[in-house]
Every structure is written in C-alpha cells, then in structure tokens.
Chain A
C-alpha cells in the first residue's frame, strides 16, 4: 500500500517541477493597491462600442537582437488577440510608453484616446524569457491585473494567450476564448470530414478519414471527446472519438443515429434515433448505453442543446406541424414552446452562461438567418441578414462570440460575430471547398 501511495506523489513532484521551471509561472506582482472587482465591459449590452485599449510596443531594459525579435512578435500577437475578441479597438503605439508602473503613467494625457493600457517589461537570458504584463484602467487610474510569466522563448505566444485570458476573465468574467478550439466540417478532400483548429481558425488538423459523410461534431464538456455522425458503415451512426488517443465508441440503434450533443459535465450525450415510429431524442452514456428518452412525440424531434446546468434541454420539434424550438424541463418533465415567430425555427444553441439561446429561422422575406432569444421567450433579436444563408450557430466558451456558417460569399464558409451580431467576419478562410457545422470547444 505504501509503495502505491508513493507513486502519485512522485508524479506530482515532476509535475510541480515542470510547472515551476518550464511553464508560465504566473505571479501577481506585489503591488500595494488592489482594485475593485467590477466587470469592466458588459458583453450583455448589445449597444457597446469597442473599448479603446492602448498596446504600446513591448519594452525592455535590456538590448539584444534576440529580444528585439521577441518584442516585435509579442507586441503584434497581443494586439492580434485583443482585436480578435471584437470588443476592443487597438490603439497601436510604436514606441515605449512613459513607464510600466502606475506611478509612471500619464493617465490624464491618455484619457483622451484610450480607456485601457497594457504595459510590459521583458527580460531574456539564456533562452529563458521573463515577461511582466500589466493592464491599467486609465479612467480610474488603477491597475486591473498584472502578471509575470517565465518560460522558454518558444512559449511566447502561449504566455501572451495566458495573459489575454486573464484580462478576459477580469473584464468579461470568463477566460475560455484563447485556449479554446473549433471543430467543423469541410469537403475540401472531396468528402465531408471533421477537422479541428485553434480558436482563431489557425493550426487546422483533420480528425476523420471516413471517406463517406462525417458531420455534426460536438465537444464533451472536458474537451476530451468529440462525438459526430458518420456514414462510414453505410448508415448514419454516432462515433464517439477520444482526443486523448484512447478507445472510441460507435452508437447505433436502428437506421438513424444523428445530432449528438454532450450533457454538461457528464460522459453522456443526447442523440436522435429512429427507434420508434419517427426520430426522437434519447440520452445515452458515451459508450452508447441507453439512459432515457428525452423527447418523444408525433413527428420529428431533433437538435438537442442543454442549459449549462443540464436541467433543461432546447430542441426542435415538428409536433405541431412546422419545426419550432421547445424547451424541456427535466425537473418538472414539462415541455414549453419557445419560438412563435415564423414557420421554421431550428438549430438551438444555448449560451454557456445560460442567458440566451441562438437559433436559425427561415422566412420567405429574409431567407435563413440567425436569431437570439432569452429562454423565457423575451428579447428576440435578428443577428444576421442576407445575402446568402446564415445558419448553425455555436457559442465561444466565454459566450462573447458566435461562430456560424454562411453562404454570403458563395460557398459555405465559417464566420464569426459578437453575441449581438456585430463585427461579422470570416473565421476559416484558408481552406478550399465548403466549411460548415462549426462547434466551439467548451
């Protein structure tokens, strides 16, 4: 028994060692004054303007050619990250700021063109990079957050993503965006296969080689699994793929096994199968063991999406004729209709914080577009307009952005926008063929 106990401790020590030496030791600099923990930017305000943030050229007391390269690369990458969020207007200053600490900064002068400021101090020695980054609230003349990172110079981008995540957490209350990944469908190989990329569409890798039709990817909430639908064996079946290289599972009961959607925090998923008369929604373990029926009625039930606590499920049903979105409450077992506008409402996607559901609506006048509605049926907004169809919304893990599929430029491509439809732009642009069905990791 004693031997067995020693083993994990040994592992733990290695882990601790690696962590402290190699990886990004984030230490809050010892500044005397703390700040109010208020949310700086309210992403729930649909009318917010972009917040101006000054990101001057990184600074260092040292001077060597290696460091100069790191400074140029690092400055532009941090600007890129903040710009990507769609919530900032970057004020670029190609010279060092007046100082790096609060007492050195000329807040009064900066008030004119900026609300936030990032200052930096870099040290580089023998391949080890040390970086101190601070974010200031110019109006309040206050430090919002400061972090110190230490690692190999190859970890530069990783450190900056970590810092940007810290800033996002301070400002938005969630740091998920820059560590997240995307899964999506592309037919660039000739067949529809599943691919994944970094949060910004870079670093694309192919996840399936089924050479048939692979669609509908869904990330488990620990991001260790992707479930998807594939015709690899002739009929649509659900594949549960381990992203850690472990064993996978195939879920197949009857002739139709589609639209997998993971349950929050569980190795379980909802799926649509045609076991009875028509397509209904069932809940199964990740291995495919049947747990219960989630929605069953006359006609089609499809496209489940769960509230963050897993207590409710939005889904599409044709039980009253045309497809509409309904919400099932698992506590009361009651089903309520959510959408009443229009004759065709599908693809519900519940936001990570639970406050909104985005979905697809089709009308004769407007074509196919993405809408937003609160789970209680209020606050309906149209997020996209033509040209082309806009569909398949998927939330970023921090709830700030929505990825979607659009045919506005001809072929199907993956775009993104803020949660209120602002700043619509292409997310995956460097791939041939059609891309669709984006799924943002959790």
Chain B
C-alpha cells in the first residue's frame, strides 16, 4: 500500500513539473529549445563567475587576514624584542664593573637588536647597591655603564648611539638590605632613546 502511494506521488510530482515547464515556455515566441539552452548556459556562466569571484574574494580575505596576522605577529615580536631589550638588565658583583658570561650573552642580544634597528639610540644606566660611599658609587656606576658600552662597541655598535649615565646608589631597583636585595641593585639598565 505504501509502495503504491509513493509511486503515485512521484508520478504526480513529475506531471506537475512538466505542466510548470510547459506553462513557462508557452509565454515566449522564440525557439524555446535554443533559449532554454542559452539560459542554462548563461546561468551556468553566472554561477561560475560568482563562484570564482567569491573564491577570489575569500582568497583575498584569507591573504589579508594572514598578512594582518603576520604583521600583528611581527609587531608583537618587535614589541617583545623591544621590551626584552629594555627590561633585561645585567648584573655585577660587589665593587666590580666586570661583565659576567651571562651579562655578555645579554649584551650580544642587545647588539643584535640594535643591528636590526639601525636608527636606534640607547642610554645605559649604571647602578650600585647601598653599601659603600655614595660618591664612590657614583664613579662605580659610571664604570658599569661604560663597560656595557665598551662591549656593545666591540660587537660593532657605534659609540655615538650609546649614552651612559651613572646613578650610583641613588635609584635602587629594590628597596631594603641584604644580599638578595643588593644583588638586584648592582646593575646596568638599558633605555631606548630613539628608534
């Protein structure tokens, strides 16, 4: 019973389609077959065009997004590199302006940044811990800044791109006393003046 019904339904549907097609063709005077063909072709062409266009647009958008992401990533990397340059300090032993192996490595990274930012100019701040004499520490801070500058010079960074300033014990990074605090205050800091 179900089978008969579905067969009947399909036949009815087909009749309806034919009637509909027949009705529409009756309205035109031109050769319906040719026109039909043309229309089909036209429709196909349009569809293809649209598809291509959409595809191109999508591709363009994708590229744009990719480029944007790349730029964003690059900017982010640049920003990180800059932040790294400015935030990474080098540290010294008590009453010393000698560069440790770690300090040299840090300075090599800084030199690399300065090479990829050839217009950049920086200032190196020399600092000391609170122990000892304020006057002596002013001189020691200068020596620390100067030894960082000298190493950057040796790595090919021009002298006139590096300023030095000593703050002695006047601007501690961490307040307080004890070796834990002092070791963080015996440092050189790096600031970008221009890029």
Residues of A that sit less than 8 Å from B by CB: 192, 213, 215-216, 229, 234-236, 255-256, 258-259, 272, 274, 277-279, 299-303, 316, 318, 322-323, 344, 346-347, 360, 362, 368, 389, 391-392, 436-437
- Do B95 and A274 have beta carbons less than 8 Å apart? no
Q: Are the CB atoms of A274 and B135 closer together than 8 Å?
A: no
23 residue pairs A–B, Cβ–Cβ below 8 Å: A192-B170, A215-B134, A216-B134, A234-B165, A236-B165, A255-B166, A256-B138, A256-B139, A272-B138, A274-B146, A277-B146, A279-B139, A279-B143, A300-B139, A300-B140, A300-B143, A302-B136, A316-B135, A346-B132, A347-B133, A347-B135, A368-B131, A389-B131
Would you call A255 and B163 a contact (CB within 8 A)?
Answer: yes
- Tell me which residues across on chain A come within 8 A of B139, comparing CB atoms: 256, 258, 272, 278-279, 300-302
What residues of A have a CB within 8 angstroms of the CB of B143 in the complex?
Answer: 278-279, 299-300
The CA-CA distance from A236 to B142 in the complex, in Å, is: 11
Among the interface residues B136, B146, B165, B170, which one has the most CB atoms of the partner chain A within 10 A? B136
Interface residues on B, range: 10 to 19
- Would you call B164 an interface residue if the criterion is a C-beta within 8 Å of the partner chain's C-beta atoms? yes
Contact: A279 with B142, CB < 8 Å?
yes
Q: Are B133 and A274 in contact (CB under 8 A)?
A: no
Give per-residue flags for B3-39: 1 if the beta carbon is below 8 A from chain A beta carbons, else 0.
Answer: 0000000000000000000000000000000000000
Question: Which residues from A are CB-within-8-Å of B95?
Answer: 318, 322-323, 344
Q: Which residues from 113 to 135 on chain B have a C-beta closer than 8 Å to any C-beta of chain A?
A: 131-135
A235 CA / B123 CA spacing, docked (Å): 11
Enumerate chain B residues within 8 angstroms of A274, measured Cβ to Cβ.
142, 146
- What are the residues of chain B within 8 A of A255 when measuring CB–CB? 142, 163-166
Tell me the complex Cα distance, A213–B171, Å: 10
Which chain A residues lie closer than 8 Å to B142 at the CB level?
Answer: 255-256, 274, 278-279
Q: Once the chains are docked, how many angstroms separate the CA of A49 from the CA of B142?
A: 46
Q: Evaluate contact between A346 and B136: CB separation under 8 angstroms.
A: yes
Contact B138 A236, beta carbon cutoff 8 Å: yes
Q: A256-B139, A258-B139, A272-B139 are in contact. Are A392 and B134 (CB under 8 A)?
A: yes
Contact between A259 and B135 (Cβ–Cβ < 8 Å)? yes
Closest to B126 in A: A256
Roughly how many angstroms separate A303 CA and B142 CA in the complex, as a whole number? 15
Contact B131 A346 (CB under 8 A): no
Docked complex Cα distance between A349 and B78 (Å)? 52
CA distance A234 to B170 in the complex (A): 14
Please tell me if the beta carbons of B135 and A362 are within 8 angstroms of each other in the complex. Answer: no
Cβ contacts under 8 Å, B166 to chain A = 236, 255-256
Residues of A within 8 A of B163 (CB): 255
